[in-house]
Amino acid sequence: MNLSVINSPDSAGLACDFQPWSFYLGGKRTYWGLPNNPDYDLPALAGSPCDTLVSQNELAGAAAVGSLHVYYHSDWDKAFINASNLKGKTGKLMVYDMQGKVVHSEPLRIQNGYYTKDLSMTGYTNGMYLVTIETEMERPTKKLMID
């Protein structure tokens, strides 16, 4: 499996240096356009921001940063809020609309760096909201879309 290459695309005719079937794809196929087949046999490259085998939260050093994940389930009309690696013991859960108005606020207690909450979104209008966890040391924020 190979791709053809035009080495000088700005040159006309034979000067463009067209090389048919000159770029080897390493045994992979291309079905439409350039190949986009991940190679799952690659070993993990520890600490690399280009590592395709781990999520961003698993990279070296990411454990030191608090992370916030928010997921809205329309059938249950709830937002599932999960935070990890938070610094501090107490804080405040804040939900803002896109005009910056606080539409929900409640105190929270962080247990071993983790916080989880199933927040009822009944009565909230469709649109974008910002969910923020404010602790003594940090303030992670995520967008929440209600549709």
Domain range annotation of the chain: 65-146
Residues of the chain with pLDDT under 50: 53-60, 62-63
How is domain 65-146 classified at the CATH fold level?
A: Immunoglobulin-like (2.60.40)
- The pLDDT value recorded for residue 27 is 75
- The pLDDT value recorded for residue 39 is 62
The reply to whether the predicted model has a pTM over 0.85 is: no
Sign for the CA dihedral angle at 119, 146, 70, 54 comes to positive
- The pLDDT value recorded for residue 59 is 46
Q: What is the pLDDT of residues 50-86, one digit of tens each?
A: 655 444 444 445 445 678 999 999 899 999 999 999 9
Supply 132's token pair.
């923020």
Cβ neighbours of residue 35 closer than 8 Å, sequence gap 6 or more: 25, 28, 29
Q: Are 69 and 144 in contact (CB under 8 A)?
A: no
Q: Are 65 and 52 in contact (CB under 8 A)?
A: no
- The pLDDT value recorded for residue 66 is 77
